[in-house]
């Protein structure tokens, strides 16, 4: 199936590709970048700030009435009260500052409280994951589908491990122990956006995490759903952007993984 891009998706992809050119140069000179800390083990670089500014400028030029919700600059109300961009300029900043080539920029379009389009761009390998509600999900120009695996013992899952300054260490250890016992493996790559993109591409069979921010997961939600996956909070509700809790799984394993995590959390 050919990838048909709407005007909004075209704008989002153009913005991501333009910002990525400078970001790749920054990555090549990462040892010279200015790095500061927002909190324990929570880094921000000059590249985060510059990339966010470039994305905002490009999107604002194309859709000047839309608002913004951004990791570094926060919320900006637009003239259109029903539409806003949700942006994470570098999801995986800790990887970025350590020279690990696994990070992405994430752009989502929220309309009337619903995520309707999403782009996750991994610039080092030029992987553009994108989707729009009702139109399917794509990796560059190729259609994506979640995996079809139905056996936990053949499946691998991604998650995020709490670190210094983040709550939930003990509950997480119970969750990971429960999934370890029944699965083919667990991966922790350090970018929730890419974890979701990999679920959509069928590379991971599922992903779960708590304590996330809207910009970490907004684009990934629509991309996984358009790839045929199921996305909810860990308790099954649909308020991921508010709660920061997310469970994204192929339909065959959604119920089983959800029950395992729920039991571990008791």
Question: Is 78 inside a domain boundary?
Answer: yes
Per-block mean pLDDT, blocks of 10 residues, the chain (266 long): 82 98 89 64 74 97 97 94 97 91 98 98 98 97 97 98 79 94 97 98 97 97 98 97 97 98 88
218 lies in a domain? yes
Last residue of a domain, one of 115, 144, 173: 144
Coil/strand/helix, residue 175? helix
The reply to whether 2 falls in a domain is: no
Structural domain tally of the chain?
2
pTM for the model: 0.94
pLDDT at 227: 98
In a domain, 1, yes or no: no
Q: What is the DSSP letter of 167?
A: S
Q: Which has the closest alpha carbon to 47: 25, 69, 18, 68?
A: 25
Do residues 137 and 191 share a domain?
no
Instruction: Supply the pLDDT for residue 36.
Output: 66
pLDDT for res 43: 56
Match 């992987």 to its residue by tokens: 127
Residues 205 and 122 reside in one and the same domain: no
Closest CA to 250 of 144, 161, 174, 171: 144
CB 211 within 8 A of CB 166: yes
Residues 94 and 159 in one domain: no
Last residue within a domain, chosen from 86, 120, 144 = 144
In a domain, 32, yes or no: yes
CA nearest 148: which of 254, 247, 61?
254
pLDDT score at 264: 94
With beta carbons less than 8 A apart as the criterion, state whether 249 and 205 touch: yes
| Tokens coding 12 | 């989002």
Same domain for 139 and 163, yes or no, is no
Look at residues 113, 144, 175 and tell me which one is the last residue of a structural domain.
144
**Which residue range is the domain that position 123 belongs to?**
7-144
Helix (H, G, I), strand (E, B) or coil at 71: coil
Distances (CA, A) of 256 to 134, 178, 201, 210: 27, 12, 20, 18
Q: Residue 175: give its domain's CATH number.
A: 3.40.190.80
Distance (Å, rounded) from C-alpha 61 to C-alpha 182?
Answer: 50
188 domain residue, yes or no: yes
* d(C-alpha 47, C-alpha 114), whole Å: 29
Evaluated on CA atoms 94, 96, 102, 107, the torsion sign reads: positive
CATH number for the domain spanning 95: value is 3.30.540.10
Q: What is the DSSP letter of 4?
A: P
The verdict on 140 and 156 lying in the same domain is no
In a domain, 35, yes or no: yes
Please tell me the predicted confidence (pLDDT) of residue 38. Answer: 60
* Rounded-to-integer distance, Cα 21 and Cα 165, Å: 33
In a domain, 52, yes or no: yes
């Amino acid at each position: 199936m050919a990838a048909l891009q709407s005007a909004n998706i075209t704008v989002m992809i153009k913005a991501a590709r333009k910002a990525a050119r400078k970001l790749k140069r920054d990555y090549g000179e990462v040892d010279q970048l200015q790095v500061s800390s927002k909190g324990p083990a929570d880094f921000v670089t000059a590249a985060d700030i510059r990339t966010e500014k470039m994305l905002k400028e490009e999107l604002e030029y194309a859709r000047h009435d839309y608002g913004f919700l951004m990791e570094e600059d926060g919320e900006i109300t637009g003239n259109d009260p029903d539409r806003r961009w949700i942006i994470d300029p570098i999801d995986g900043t800790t990887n970025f500052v350590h020279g690990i080539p696994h990070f992405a920029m994430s752009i989502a379009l929220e309309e009337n409280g619903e995520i309707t389009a999403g782009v996750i761009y991994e610039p080092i390998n030029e992987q553009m994951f994108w989707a729009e509600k009702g139109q399917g999900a794509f990796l560059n120009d190729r259609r994506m589908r979640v995996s079809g695996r139905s056996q936990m013992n053949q499946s691998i899952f991604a998650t995020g491990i709490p670190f210094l300054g983040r709550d939930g260490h003990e509950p997480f250890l119970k969750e990971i122990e429960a999934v370890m016992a029944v699965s083919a493996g667990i991966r922790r790559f350090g970018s929730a956006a890419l974890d979701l993109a990999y679920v959509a591409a069928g590379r991971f069979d599922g992903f779960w995490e708590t304590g996330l921010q809207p910009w970490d997961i907004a684009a990934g939600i629509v991309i996984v759903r358009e790839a045929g996956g199921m996305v909810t909070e860990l308790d099954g509700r649909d308020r991921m952007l508010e709660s920061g809790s997310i469970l994204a799984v192929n339909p065959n394993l959604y119920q089983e993984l959800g029950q395992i995590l729920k039991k571990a959390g008791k």
